[in-house]
């Protein structure tokens, strides 16, 4: 995909058509630094990438490569201009927006520090709300129950449960670890009026085994492979 990182989306057969049909892939910025030992989920959080403005410019320049995808943008960027970017993305065939990468992935302590300077999850959700007001479908990336409950107020069409940076300390988080996070968020959302798709980060090898997917997950967002 050249300028982009692609994350495939795989739904359970029984949930197709639930609330809203989500595209089959997410497009995000590529990490500025890539190494076989650096997960892309962490790489896109590093300051070395070109940021949302360059990503949006690349999308607009190559609409045939991204049309119909979910556009993952770092929505906490202080340079973001939804009023200017939304029409350009729509013209490129983008109808879905996600806050990917998300500041929530940095972990609670650092995320709280970013919140204090107006660059936290609240900023991301505000930007998602602005896209939703412009009739984009939105997928909210969340890490924990608190973030999920805040995101549910927007009534997003989907939520994507992502591990935090610390969850990658040794290896890719286990299916059990990711499943526990999904279950905790699903339980926390039980009293919310929200019936969107709940998606979990998955490994390519898990696609063929939906019975092993976390309980409560409607599908997987497959982690992108390292493209060296």
Domains in the chain (CATH in brackets) are 4-222 (3.20.20)
Residue closest to 155 by CA, chosen among 192, 120, 184: 192
Q: What is the mean pLDDT of the chain?
A: 85
219-222/197-202 β-pairing: parallel
- Say how many C-beta atoms besides its own lie within 10 A of residue 51's C-beta: 15
Across 149-158, average pLDDT: 94
| 158/105: higher pLDDT | 158
Band of residue 53 on the pLDDT scale cut at 50, 70, 90: confident
Is pLDDT of 17 > 70?
A: no
- By mean pLDDT, which of 13-22, 83-92, 111-120, 159-168 is the weakest? 111-120
Name which of 17-31, 59-73, 121-135 the model is least confident about: 17-31
Residue 217 has pLDDT above 50, yes or no: yes
Question: pTM of the predicted model, to two decimals?
Answer: 0.90
Instruction: Tell me the pLDDT band of 210, cut-offs 50, 70 and 90.
Output: very high
What Rg value do the Cα atoms of the chain yield, rounded? Answer: 16
> Residue 222: its pLDDT value, please?
97
């Amino acid at each position: 995909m050249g300028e982009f990182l692609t994350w495939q989306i795989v739904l359970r057969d029984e949930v197709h058509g639930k609330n809203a049909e989500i595209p089959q892939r997410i497009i995000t910025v590529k990490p500025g630094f890539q190494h076989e030992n650096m997960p892309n989920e962490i790489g896109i959080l590093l300051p070395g990438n070109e940021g949302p403005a360059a990503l949006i410019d690349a999308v607009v320049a190559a609409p045939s490569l991204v049309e119909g995808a979910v556009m993952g943008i770092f929505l906490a960027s202080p340079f973001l201009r939804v009023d200017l970017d939304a029409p350009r993305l729509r013209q490129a065939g983008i109808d879905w927006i996600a806050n990917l990468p998300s500041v929530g992935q940095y972990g609670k302590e650092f995320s709280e520090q970013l919140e204090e300077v107006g660059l936290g999850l609240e900023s991301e959700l505000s930007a998602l709300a602005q896209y939703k007001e412009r009739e984009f479908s939105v997928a909210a990336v969340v890490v924990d129950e608190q973030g999920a409950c805040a995101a549910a107020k927007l009534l997003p069409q989907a939520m994507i449960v992502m591990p935090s940076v610390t969850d990658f300390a040794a290896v890719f988080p286990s299916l059990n670890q990711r499943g526990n996070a999904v279950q905790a968020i699903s339980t926390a959302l039980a009293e919310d009026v929200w019936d969107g798709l709940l998606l979990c980060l998955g490994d390519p090898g898990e696609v063929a085994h939906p019975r092993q997917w976390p309980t409560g997950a409607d599908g997987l967002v497959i982690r992108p492979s390292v493209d060296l």
